[in-house]
Amino acid sequence: MEHLINNRVKQLEISGIRKFFNMVAGTEDMISLTIGQPDFPTPAHVKEAGKKAIDDNFTSYTHNAGLLELREAAADFYKKKYSVDYNPSSEVIVTTGASEAIDIAFRTILEEGTEVILPGPVYPGYEPIVRLCDAKPVYIDTREHQFKLTAELIEPYINDKTRCIVLPYPSNPTGVSMNEQELYDIAAMLEKKEIFVLADEIYSELAFERPHASIAKFLRDKTIVINGLSKSHAMTGWRIGLLYAPEYITKHILKVHQYNVTCASSISQAAALAALTNGLDDSVPMREEYRKRRDYVYKRLLEMGLETVKPDGAFYFFVKIPNVNTNSFEFALSLVEEAKVAVVPGSAFSSLGEGYFRLSYAYSLETLEEGLNRLQDYLTKNRG
């Protein structure tokens, strides 16, 4: 009876990131630099808050939008960090991870035939949801523009079908972020257009060169901000996302959220409250360690003669493959087979990622050193 399955679902594929990770998992002596999983533990005080919630039998449903205290802390977080005000009672929703926030946002604003503008290369989690909404992803090539969308790049792609523009910065897979002037220029271009912006800011606390800037500061009334605690507080498995938007948007998103998951885990919300109150700066030591790793990896990649843009956020390098006769999947597979190093083929990040590979440096310096040594030996051998 498989022919009865929703055809749009049948056409979807598992993320190229996970597909390659699963393919090489279990290989003996493998150095994997694939997954964007912080290698730090969740802060101790956050774990204690979760344990206490269990001991206190805090195991019931919460408000659909999340605990009011948590939404207040989340609103305070954005005001203190990024100078954007949100009403915690009506403009903040606690979600089951940032992924659910993206899903319910798209399902609320997209309709059949509408278009979503995306930078390419880009994280592969947007296109499938756009297609499930019977909308169309439209990619803009950012490879010659430091992997950034700009107002000048966006404007020619806007038409009467354009419903949303995705700004995923700091970026997965490239690690680049945008400054206030760049965001202001996009906001000014969109000011009189009826187009939403989905700003995926999940890596906002991992910005190295300057504090993160949100386009919501300049275009609040049209922006849906996605964030969460997975990257900032090493809480990937707790599944806490945060969605911020004006009330005229959130009142509809909340309906989709309610019928999707009812509410985020009460235990995880208790832990998240500790993270956003007592642990507001928990990300700082992690960020400094990522910065050291970034600098080390960048130096090594340049010494190998590899071409890459130096990332100023997140924990990824997007590296050009030196052998243009090899596609990214074949390169990554060969690297696994010959050097026992796993990276993610650039093709996992749309067709505009072909010819590149993504290397995650969310690993210890010892692991990075060994992985890069193996990569260097592989390149030396295969360059002849």
Stretch 15-39: mean pLDDT: 81
pLDDT tens digits, 160-170: 999 999 999 99
Q: Tell me which residue range forms the domain holding 10.
A: 2-42+282-382
pLDDT band at 384 (very low <50, low <70, confident <90, very high): low
Q: How far, CA to CA in Å, does 261 sit from each of 64, 100, 256, 257, 335? A: 9, 9, 9, 6, 40
pLDDT tens digits, 237-265: 999 999 999 999 999 999 999 999 999 99
On whether both 213 and 348 belong to a single domain, the answer is no
Stretch 71-86: mean pLDDT: 98
Q: Give CA–CA dist 271/128, Å, rounded.
A: 30
pLDDT of residue 9: 84
Q: Tell me which of 223, 253, 277 is where a domain ends.
A: 277
On whether both 246 and 297 belong to a single domain, the answer is no
On whether both 209 and 63 belong to a single domain, the answer is yes
Q: Which helix (H) or strand (E) holds 347?
A: none
On whether both 52 and 183 belong to a single domain, the answer is yes
pLDDT band at 10 (very low <50, low <70, confident <90, very high): confident
pLDDT band at 368 (very low <50, low <70, confident <90, very high): very high
Within the chain, residue ranges assigned H as helices are: 7-10, 16-24, 44-55, 68-82, 97-109, 127-132, 151-154, 180-190, 216-219, 247-261, 266-277, 283-303, 328-339, 365-382
Statement: residue 15 has pLDDT above 90: no
User: What residues are paired with 263 via a beta bridge?
Assistant: none
On whether both 186 and 151 belong to a single domain, the answer is yes
What's the CATH number where 321 sits?
A: 3.90.1150.10
pLDDT band at 366 (very low <50, low <70, confident <90, very high): very high
**Phi and psi (nearest 5°) for 256?**
-65, -45
> Which of 281, 283, 285 is CA-nearest to residue 235?
283
On whether both 289 and 267 belong to a single domain, the answer is no
On whether both 51 and 31 belong to a single domain, the answer is no
Statement: residue 324 has pLDDT above 80: no
Q: Which helix (H) or strand (E) holds 139?
A: strand 136-141
On whether both 64 and 196 belong to a single domain, the answer is yes
What's the CATH number where 142 sits?
A: 3.40.640.10
Q: Tell me which of 224, 254, 277 is where a domain ends.
A: 277
On whether both 62 and 124 belong to a single domain, the answer is yes
- In percent, the amount of the chain with pLDDT more than 70 equals 99
pLDDT of residue 23: 73
On whether both 314 and 262 belong to a single domain, the answer is no
On whether both 192 and 169 belong to a single domain, the answer is yes
Q: Tell me which of 277, 311, 334 is where a domain ends.
A: 277
Statement: residue 150 has pLDDT above 90: yes
On whether both 85 and 145 belong to a single domain, the answer is yes
Domain total of the chain: 2
Q: How far is CA 280 from the centre of its chain?
A: 20
